[in-house]
Copies of this chain bind each other. A is one copy, B any other.
Amino acid sequence: MSLAQEMEELFYEKIPITRALGVRVEEYDGRRLVLSAPLGRNVNHLGTAFGGSLDALAVLSCYGLLWLELRDPDSHIVIRESSISYDRPVRGDLRAVCALPDADALATFKRALDRRGRARIELTATLQDDGHDAVRFRGTFVAFR
């Protein structure tokens, strides 16, 4: 089983609403995680993607990427706070992209986690509509042992 498939199984088992959302792992290249979800299950009253589903997919893309980066069964990751801007409606399937922050920020985070058993990091994710950035998400995540 690939790491991406393992992630999908982990979502379904540990965060069961991901199955109802229809979350799929689309791509993972070691630096970037792409998750998708079908519009049909996540549609709102205007026929576009529901804000709550867009936020959930963004959160999961960040959480998933951090999980793949740490690959540490003794570490847990939680979200501390976030903000999100819905700049355009998403009219097709949902696709959230989260990329790792720069190497310095990542090294600082891992060092703090090793030393103190607890560290925080800021991650961003975007969702597009028809090639344009539609939703911008930023969140602070905390890892602890």
The A contact surface, by secondary structure, is mixed
Q: How many copies does the complex hold?
A: 2
Please tell me which one of the listed residues B10, B44, B46, B56 contacts residue A52 in the complex, with CB atoms under 8 A apart.
B56
B15 A50 Cβ-Cβ under 8 A: yes
Residues of chain B within 8 A (CB-CB) of A44 are: 14-15
Q: How far is the CA of A76 from the CA of B46 in the complex (A)?
A: 8
- The stretch among A26-34, A83-91, A104-112, A126-134 that forms the contact with chain B is A83-91
For the complex, give the distance between the alpha carbons of A83 and B57 in Å.
Answer: 16
Q: A17 touches which one: B50, B79, B80, B82 (CB < 8 A)?
A: B50
In chain A, positions 23-54 with a C-beta closer than 8 Å to chain B are 41-46, 50-53
Chain A, range 44-73, C-beta contacts under 8 Å to B: 44-46, 50-53, 55-57, 59-60
User: Residues of A with Cβ closer than 8 Å to B?
Assistant: 10, 14-17, 20-21, 41-46, 50-53, 55-57, 59-60, 76, 78-86, 89
